Structure 1
Amino acid sequence: MRVNEKHSADRNENTVRLLAEPRRQRILEWIEEEGSARVRDLSAAFEVSEATIRQDLERLERDGQITREHGGAYLNSVRTQSASMSLHHQENMDRKRKIGALAADQVADGETLILDAGTTTTEVALRLTGRSNLTVITNALNIAVILGSVPGNAVHMPGGQFKPPTLSLSGDKSVEYFRSIFAGKLFLATAGVALDAGLTYPSFADLQLKEAMIRAASHVYLVADSTKINRSSFTRLGALELIHSFITDDGISDAAAKEFEHRGIKVLIAK
């Protein structure tokens, strides 16, 4: 091979690697959100061949994060998470606890609210146990247990398909349920929040559910730690104008906070 041809081949190989690595990361985030994934679904979503997806899954399996099965793969931690009622994402917990406390301060006794599934919304729920006579609608099993054990609270859940990593229920039945209710406040989780991309998530599965939650609430609080700001995940729910208030931690820059406020979103900073 001539030198120029070799350099061209090296560039092509590097290009493929740069494209493959971000795709594999997004595939892993998808499986971490859903607990499992089918090859055909990933192939359609990422617009690559099923053979390419199988290669991606083989690599992720070698890295020890997933286990392949016929037609797809599942997250290795699914069984232990379900048995222990624990959530998958446990990073930045100090920030999430502060956000949870500030979010709980926005709730008075006797209110009706929706709590989305997730680690940050779980921190909100843990700090609402001192409130009384709440009506809580949630798709998260762990949140239902936390707040349902408080005397005087009324906790309601939709039907749907169980997602182990988020201990939540999802699917068409969940969507229809939230389309028929009304609540004063929604505490919404997200994987990424960016000024241009808006609210983004690792997979398609919950987009309609979150849309239904937003329509069911008169005031939408986004609860997300500052590491998710200017971060985009795979699928887009919509623009920032879907939310009314953003509760985050003091890692948010002054410039970002001003831009959110300029968009008409009240920013509450937990310290």
Structure 2
Amino acid sequence: MLGMERRQKIVDLIQKDRKIYVSKLSHLFDVTEETIRRDLEKLEIENKLTRTYGGAVLTQHTNEDLPFPKRESINRELKQKIALKAAELINDGDTIMMDTSSTCLELMEALQDKKGLTIITNSIKIPYNFVNSNFNIISTGGTLRAHSLALVGPVAHDTLQNYYVDMAVMSCKGLSLDKGIMESNEPESELKKSMVKQAEKFILLADHTKFNKTAFIKFCDFFDINYIITDCAPSENWLELFIKFNIQIIY
């Protein structure tokens, strides 16, 4: 295999998995680890990845706003596990505001045995996918961001102001110890702020790849959060912060 072809396959892998390891790539392509390191060095110069100890991670810009189909395919198994944990916190008859995240879409699948749920959302994917379900689904209406299948703007905000719910459930683009909870674009960030204000409890769904990441705009502080559900144990400094803000961490 030519080096150019191998590097393109490496780019394809890191786009899918967000993180790659030198040892695994060496075995996969049957070349030395030094060859893989040279490949990663060239790809870093091209700004396609960022090298780390033992591998590399996908280079991301703070305002990178991935289209929904691509977000839906990333870390799907982790999102499904998180969704199953989140479903345990939701009872029959609850009222819930949900964002347009792919993790919330997985949560909807996990909630289908629940009875009497009311879901208020700015997603167009949720009403479409669950049109024949037993959920009572209320759409915010608003202006469509086709890129993310999200409804935003004044109409969506006005709708949210009419309701007070048991919980807001959503994901984010990144969590930073000193910057808070962040999103990649302002219109959806503003909707998330409104959802948090209208909810008795806030449940944040975030797999481990979201931790220690900075995104474009902050939409809430840690004191706003009641639960964080993730896929593995966070580091000690994160656990200390969760204790400080009385956040229950579930993984």
TM-score (norm 2): 0.71
Return the offset for 1:25.
4.8
Of 179, 188, 195, 1:206 maps to 188
Structure ranking higher in helix proportion: 1
RMSD: 2.5
Offset, 1:223: 0.5
Sequence identity percentage = 24
1:21-40 to 2 correspondences below 5 Å: 25-26=60-61, 29-30=64-65, 32=66
1:127 to 110, 117, 137: 110
The one-letter code matched in structure 2 to 1:155 is I
1:122 CA drift (Å): 0.9
**Which of 136, 142, 148 lines up with 1:166 in the alignment?**
148
Contact map agreement 1:128 1:147 (CA 8 A) in 2? no
1:146 Cα deviation from its structure 2 partner: 3.6
Instruction: Report deviation, 1:108.
Output: 1.1
Q: Deviations over 1:130-180 (max 9, x none)?
A: 1111111111122223444223x2110111111223322111211111122
Work out the CA distance in 1 between the residues paired with 2:146 and 2:125.
11
Matches for 1:79-90 after TM superposition, within 5 Å: 86=69, 88-90=71-73
Are 2:86 and 2:107, in contact at CA under 8 Å, matched by a contact in 1? yes
Once the two structures are superposed, what CA deviation does each residue of 1:235-267 show, in whole Å capped at 9, x if it has no partner?
Answer: 111321121111111152244223212221111
SS of the residue corresponding to residue 120 of structure 2 reads strand
Q: Is the 8 A contact 1:87 1:167 kept in 2?
A: no
Conserved 8 A contact 2:63-2:216: no
Question: Is the CA contact (8 Å cut-off) linking 1:241 and 1:263 kept in structure 2?
Answer: yes
Query: What number of residue pairs does the alignment pair up?
Result: 198
Q: Partner amino acid for 2:201?
A: H
Aligned to 1:242: 224
Alpha-carbon contact 1:125-1:146 (below 8 Å) kept? no
Q: Which residue of 2 aligns with 1:39?
A: none
Q: Which runs of 4+ in 1 moved over 4 A?
A: none
Which one of 132, 141, 146 corresponds to residue 124 of structure 2?
141
Q: Which runs of 5+ in 1 are unaligned?
A: 1-16, 34-80
Which structure 2 residue ranges, 5 or more long, are not aligned? 1-44, 51-58
Residues 199-257 of structure 1: CA deviation (Å, up to 9, x unaligned): 11112112221111011100000011011011110111132112111111115224422
Q: TM-score with structure 1 length normalisation?
A: 0.66
